Chain A
Amino acid sequence: MTEPIIAVQSFTKTYGDFVAVEDISFTVQHGEIFGLLGPNGAGKTSTLETLEGLREPNGGSLSVAGVDPTSEPHKLGSVIGVQLQSSGLPETITPDEAMKLFCAYHTVEPRFDLLERLGLQEKRNTQYVELSTGQQRRLSLALAVAHKPPVLFLDEPTAGLDVPSRVELHSMMRELQSNGTTTILATHDMAEAEELSDRVAILLNGRIVSTGTPMDITATGAGLTKVSVRVENSTLDDPQLRFPAVSQQTFKEEYHIYFTTDVGPTVSAIIQHIEAHQDKLIDLRVQRPSLEDRFLELTKVGGDQ
């Protein structure tokens, strides 16, 4: 295992008496897309902002690409790119000016190609305040990656984006990943986190309640896998019919729907039953519990405590 590019050890952040983040630890490997998930107030922003050098920790240690954000903030700018959730740019600045200004401070050539790629070519001389929310976010992303930082922080990157822009952004994130960029993705969009993240951490009340790959996390929940089956004849119509591991079953729009705790034996038994009764299978769909289901489960448990 190589040295992690981001290491957070026993990190605590407080605001007066309020503990926003309490003793959390995680690491992120080179080239990973790491999702930081949690409801509002869970501690995501405090964690991100401390990693970005915008806040000082009250305890623990943090390292980003070998830089301590607290004691070496001047070194941080060259190793991180940040797409902030808030605007972060003056109202009168144009995308061209913003690109020239930020690249000048990073001492790199302006990356006007990024503006073109992110669909801002025709808006290069439009003032920031006149850009749509989606255009503002795309500009923010272009500025964040212009100096090719090894670590990228994205806070709700697709909020306010239309579908093509969202697809383009996802494609860009994968391309950056293939070039070795590590991304920390803070999002409320569970489908996005599940699709893009190699690993995620779910924060709740300032603590990490679950961490791992999206598949690991969904597998550890009590969620049931949904198996939907459509057959030509009436083989499955008997209400007394039972399959292994199925806890609930229903019928909707010509589909027999089974909720199972163990998908393998259930599907196997259903197929055997259909074959044994010389019926014909038309469609079979298996829908695992999503990250969103697991997230809701975890946040409900945390909220009840």
Chain B
Amino acid sequence: MNAFVQHFSFEFRTGVRNKNLLLLNYLFPLGFYLMMGFVMVEINPLFQKDLIPAMVVFAILAATLLGIPDPLVTARENGIFRSYKINGVPAFSILLIPALTTILHLVIVTAIIVVSAPLLFDAPLPIDWASFVVTFVALAIACSGIAILIGVISASSRVTVLYSQLVFLPSMLLGGLMIPYSMLPTAAAQAAQLLPATHAMNAMRGLVMGGSADFNVWISIAVLALSGVIAYGLALYLFSWDRHNAARRAHPALALLVLVPYFVGIILTLS
């Protein structure tokens, strides 16, 4: 227990000490939130209602997908995993603790957004706080799971950026943060259901903010939670201590299994 606390404490401090992580955990999400609050609400007053959910989802996407994978790859390449292995640090701590500390940073960022948005931008607060917490946790698990999976399967930092952007950029464009899901063409809407952001925004609108959901919100919550659990399991299974990431239990393509809940979600929403 003491080891877990020490490790958690160190990783949490790293989230602020490391300039890149500070940027991705705090400066980027909060800067983007302020920009969207001052600019987007002026351009599109309807966005005011989405400001808190959209910016919380954005913060989770940025901190997890952009912030978690690269430090994992760098640590592996620098032999830090080997050092950890020799000193008895288990693989699940190496994977779980950075994800948990990132989620703790996100709780702080979310609190800042939730407290300041009504004051600065007259944004409405969630009407169902329990659902807000459930959606936040489900999205955080889903995105951090995908993020550590990317970190585990990536051969190098350059590949990590590519994989992360493969999820992050479509999430920004199709995930319902900027353009509502209902305005997307049918094919794009179905493709959007492969993204955690789409399910999170659907649950935020339908459950948390008391608006109308585009499809079943409980399917969205289930898809997020299930994909997160699968991603963590796959990351642990595919984890390699080797600094060249050569010795692994299975082919990295196995990571695509994380998409299964999203495909099941599409089938369920169609039926």
Contacts and interface: CB of A to CB of B under 8 A. Distances in A.
Interface of A: 52-54, 73, 76-78, 80, 82, 84, 86-93, 97, 100-102, 104-107, 127, 143
B3 A88 contact: no
Given A80-B86, A105-B87, A143-B87, A100 B6 contact: yes
Contacts of A86: 78-79, 82, 243
B3 A89 contact: no
A124 to B, nearest CB: 14
Contacts of A90: 10, 14, 75, 80
Contacts of B87: 77, 102, 105-106, 143
Contacts of A76: 86
A86 B87 CA distance: 15
Contacts of A88: 78-80, 82-83
A104 B9 CA distance: 12
Interface SS of chain A: loop
Contact of B86 (A54, A87, A104, A107): A54
Contacts of B79: 84, 86-88
Contact of B3 (A53, A78, A91, A105): A105
B44 interface: no
B86 A52 contact: yes
A105 B89 contact: yes
B18 interface: yes
B17 interface: yes
A278 B228 CA distance: 94
Contacts of B7: 101, 104-105
24 contacts: A54-B82, A54-B85, A54-B86, A73-B85, A77-B88, A84-B82, A86-B79, A86-B82, A87-B78, A88-B79, A88-B80, A90-B14, A90-B80, A92-B17, A93-B14, A97-B13, A101-B3, A104-B5, A104-B6, A104-B7, A105-B87, A106-B87, A107-B2, A143-B87
Contacts of A102: 87
B168 interface: no
B10 A84 contact: no
B88 A101 contact: no
B26 interface: no
Nearest to B4: A104
Interface of B: 2-3, 5-7, 10, 13-14, 17-18, 75, 78-80, 82-83, 85-89, 241, 243
Interface SS of chain B: helix
A155 B10 CA distance: 27
Nearest to A101: B6
B17 A89 contact: no
A73 B85 CA distance: 9
A78 B3 CA distance: 15
A91 B78 CA distance: 10
B78 A53 contact: no
A53 B17 contact: no
A87 B2 CA distance: 25
A78 B88 contact: yes
Nearest to B2: A104
B14 A92 contact: yes
**5 tightest A-B contacts by CB?**
A88-B83, A77-B88, A104-B3, A86-B79, A104-B6
Contacts of B85: 53-54, 73
B100 to A, nearest CB: 16
Given A87-B79, A90-B10, A97-B13, 14 more contacts: A52-B86, A76-B86, A77-B88, A78-B88, A84-B79, A88-B80, A91-B18, A97-B6, A97-B10, A101-B10, A104-B7, A105-B7, A105-B89, A127-B17
Contacts of A87: 78-80
Contacts of B89: 105
Contacts of B13: 92, 97
Contacts of A82: 83, 86
A52 to B, nearest CB: 6
Nearest to A91: B18
A89 B14 CA distance: 13
A54 B5 CA distance: 26
A89 B6 contact: no
Contacts of A97: 6, 10, 13
B236 to A, nearest CB: 16
Nearest to B82: A54
Nearest to B243: A86
B10 A77 contact: no
A73 B84 CA distance: 13
Contacts of A143: 87
Contacts of B10: 90, 93, 97, 101
Contacts of B14: 90, 92-93
Contacts of B88: 77-78, 105-106
B241 A54 contact: yes
A22 B13 CA distance: 46
A21 B128 CA distance: 64
Which residue, A88, A89, A143, has most C-beta atoms of chain B within 10 A?
A88
A127 B18 CA distance: 11
B19 to A, nearest CB: 10
A53 B86 contact: yes
Contacts of B80: 87-90
Nearest to A87: B78
